[in-house]
Structure formats: structure tokens, C-alpha cells
Structure 1
């Protein structure tokens, strides 16, 4: 039996209390460890959640029937876990962040937090979503991090763990945060087992096109069940 597991939001700690991507992914790691041995799940990771998927896939490959990367960063097994983020950062002009705030944190200032600006959320994340969803997002937004320094020091994800779990990728074609071109570069860099594309969809497909996204999830789940 398979079911969908989407990473939620943990409000118990602020980003300045979290120094590594593994720590950031701990709620999902704990849930995966609690599953019955005969249970398999369909994991869905959105945006930076693709790195959390990879961490969990590497540790619990036998418990996952398929992982779905939803307009998400998708690493490979040949390079450092930070590789796709390094490529993304080198292609992202500073002005494209539209005033997003970046601040160092941690005892050695090796961490870097990011706090999306109103303009970036409106024009870069939610540009095709309902204004009500944008307003709710603005109310709920909190600082986050890409953990690039930490990920650059992690060992590569393994072929025996991460690499052996089937992967599906859903491309959001009007995504301005992780543009279609970069999504397809990641797929070419590390081909997925299944590719889906969503037209006229911004970075928030669960809000922009929820029914179409749900249909894709169901189709993927049945295909890899």
C-alpha cells in the first residue's frame, strides 16, 4: 500500500537554530523511521524539499515506491549534494531576487538565511496564483536557508540508496523561481524515470493548478505501486 507524504512546516524552531540540511529534514526522517516495515510511501518534495527527499531516499530506499520532485532541486550521485544549488546560484542574477534579504547566522556565520521579499513572492513565486494565496503566503513566510555551505561538505548521495529509488519530475513551465530551463537541465543531468509538465503553472502548483497536480500524483502513484 502506498500513500502520499508531503513535508509540512515545523514551527518549533527558527532557521537560526538549524545549521544543516539533515537537521532541517529531521521531522521527515523521524516519520520515515516510524513506518511499519511492510509500508511503502510516495514522497513529494517541492522546491528546496528536493534535497530533503534525497536525504531520506538515501537512508530509507526500501520504504519508498517513488519520489516526486515537484519543481524541485534534484541532485545526482556523481557530484556534491550542493552541485545543483551551485549551478542555480551561478545562473541567478542578484537583481532576480527582487530585494530578498540574505543574512549570515550561526556561531561561525557559515549559515546564510534568506527572507523572501514581497515583490519576489508576488512576481517570482505566486504570479499565476490567486491573490488570496499570495496574501496568506505573505502572512506565513519565515526565513529559510539553502544550506549550501553544509551541503558542499556532505558526501555524495549513493547509487545504492538515493539512486535506486524511482524518481518522477513535474515541471512547472511558468515557474520564475526555478525556471523551466533549469528544471530541464537538472533532468538532463540526472534523468528521472517519469516526466510530467504543467502549462501555465507558477512555482506554487498546489495553489495554482491543484486539480491537475492531484491527477498527476494519482497517476504516478499507480504507475509505481
Structure 2
């Protein structure tokens, strides 16, 4: 299947003036309400993160509840992430409405709070998951040594699906490796796989290899990196890594709102190193037949647009989408654009 490239135009929310003064006031009030709803979503997500940091309350397995939603009501006319334009009621024609959102390195299910809210408002059924040692998972990240163990909460979700049920998998950053691993194991349960500035690895490739241009070779990183964590002692091999906060801010969040950066700074955890250094075994018969889509972030400093372009070129996804003005976290920096793309991919027959 050939690539289908779609460029997303940058659009800002604007309230246009009108000759009808009362209508203008109604739009203004509506806009204030939407902004207030988004602020409430953030406060709830932040409260959960603070609660986690202070009390170390972490829960094993998947986190399948939404983070900080104001309503499960479906909107068809005034979706909060559609710039107040009418949203086509497309979900009734979809055969697959459930999306499983898989976070990237250091993140957790909490990072999807805006995406979960907007997808539910559009009538879809998003499910978030904490990978092992991430988010609210009780596991120590230093104890996670394989991609199988790291991906276990996602695999359990797929195993527990009804026999005929299918889902759309969405993977961010290194979460793309987990999506590829799942696609190899359960191709019959995955309708589509969406990689968001993600490690869409080839057979025999490691997730770390995708970031080699930014982080240097694996060998050099293991010898020289100041970010390595030796959870089993300094004389033992490194078990994880964690960027210091200032480095993380410039690398991941160069376009994100300050409040989402603050949320991330108190919520991100160390990254298990073993799964990032593991070579994936992907077959043409299983993984190769999956429907894969790639979303590029064009202001990304963690995974450069050139690297993302190379990934799309070498792995031939069915469709390639681009988000202008987005850093490595489009769920923070460009949630409206990300929402539109996920809806569009979900509706591709």
C-alpha cells in the first residue's frame, strides 16, 4: 500500500465578530465555557499526579478509567476540540470505536487526559494503560528488563477482549515498540495501529536505535550518559534512565503549555532500559499485514522530523499525517489537531 500524505494546517481558535451582537455574546460565553472545561480537566489531572507524588499511590495493571473528564456526554455539534465548527456525526458508521492509548517513555496514562476527553465527546471509547513500571503501576522500573514484561498490561487488555472485538492501538514515542509487539502477537484483534512520533521499528531493530541521532550510539550512551540509573548498584549494569528536568523540558515540551509541563515534571518516572535495548522480532505474515499509520510532529526536538520522515519512508505505513507546531507531545501542544487526525484515521475504511 502506498503512502498517503496529509498535511495538517495550523489553526488557532478565534472568536469572530458578527453583526448580531447577541450571537457574538453567545459565542463568547460558549468559548469561555470550553476554556473553563479544559482548565477543569487539567486541574483534575494535576490533582491526581500530586496525589501520586505525595502518597506514592500506584496501582498495578491497566488504568482504564478516564483522567479528569467533565462528562461522558457525546457532542455532535460543538465539539470542544473542533474550533467551534460542526463535527460530522461519523462514529455511527464505525465498526471499531475502542482506542487503546499507549504512552511513551517516562509518561503514564495520565498524559492522555485531553485526548481521552475529546475522543469520548466525539462518541469513541478510549482506554488508557499504564505500562509496567510507569504511571500508577506499582512495579519498580528498575526491575523491568524485557519488552514482554514492559508491555504486559497492554497484552492483558488485548487478551481479555471479546472473541470478535477489535481495537485501534495508538502508541506515542517508545510506546510504538509496544504497539508493534502487540501487533505481532494479536494481529486479528487490532484493526489499525497509529504511531505518534513513535518508534516504528523494523524487524531486528531496537527502540533505542530510533533515537540514536539524538542520544548517540547505544554503546556511547551506556558508557557516558549522566542520565543512567543503576538500580541494582553502581557495579551492576544500568537498569534505566531519567533526564534531568531542564533537559526534559527543552527536549520534550518546547511547544507545550506551562501547566502541562508542570504536570509532567511531577508525574514522569524513570524509563526501564532493558525494553529499549531489546531487538524486536516482527514477521511479514503477522505484523506486516497490519494497517499502520504514522503521525509526524514537525517541531519535535526529541525525535527530529527528519528521523520521523525516514521511519515513514522505510516502513511504508498506509497513511502519513503531519502536525505543524507540535513538539514531542502533541496531546499537550496540539490536542485539537491530534484529535482530528485520530478521528480521520478511525473512519478510514
Determine whether 1:127 maps to 2:254. yes
Match of 2:318 among 187, 193, 197: 193
- Equivalent residue runs for 1:56-205 within 5 Å: 56-77=182-203, 80-82=204-206, 85-86=208-209, 88-90=211-213, 92-93=215-216, 101-105=227-231, 109-147=236-274, 151-152=278-279, 156-205=281-330
CA apart distance, 1:199: 0.2
Equivalent in the alignment of 1:6: 101
Partner of 1:218: 343
In the comparison of the two structures, how many residue pairs are matched? 216
Q: Distance in 2 between matches of 1:149 and 1:71?
A: 16
**How far apart are 1:92 and its partner, in Å?**
3.0
**Partners of 2:169 and 2:299 in 1: CA distance:** 23
Looking at secondary structure, tell me which structure has more strand per residue: 1
Q: CA deviation at 1:121?
A: 2.0
User: CA deviation digits over 1:152-199, x for unaligned, max 9?
Assistant: 3x5x21111111111000000011001111111111221111000000
C-alpha deviations, 1:88-119, integer Å up to 9, x for none?
3255359xxxx861124459944541112111
**RMSD value over aligned CA atoms?**
2.3
Contact kept, 8 Å, 2:293 with 2:318, in 1: the verdict is yes
Question: Which structure is larger by alpha-carbon Rg, 1 or 2?
Answer: 2
The structure-2 alpha-carbon separation of the partners of 1:101 and 1:92, relative to structure 1 and needing over 3 Å to count, comes to closer
Q: Identify which of 130, 143, 152 aligns with 1:17.
A: 143
SS at match of 1:35: coil
User: In the superposition, relative to structure 1, how do residues 89 and 132 fare at CA in structure 2: closer, same or farther (>3 Å)?
Assistant: same
Write the deviation string for residues 105-157 of structure 1: whole angstroms up to 9, x where unpaired.
Answer: 459944541112111221110111100100110001110134367513x5x21
CA 1:40–1:86: 2 relative to 1, 3 Å: same
Q: For structure 1, which segment, 18-27 or 110-119, has the greater mean C-alpha deviation from structure 2 after superposition?
A: 110-119
TM-score, L = length of structure 2:
0.58
1:52-86 deviations in Å (ceiling 9; x for gaps) = 00110000001111100000000123xx131x532
Q: 5+ unaligned residues in a row in structure 2: which ranges?
A: 1-94, 103-108, 110-129, 131-135, 218-224
What CA distance in whole angstroms lies between the structure 1 residues aligned with 2:275 and 2:176?
Answer: 14
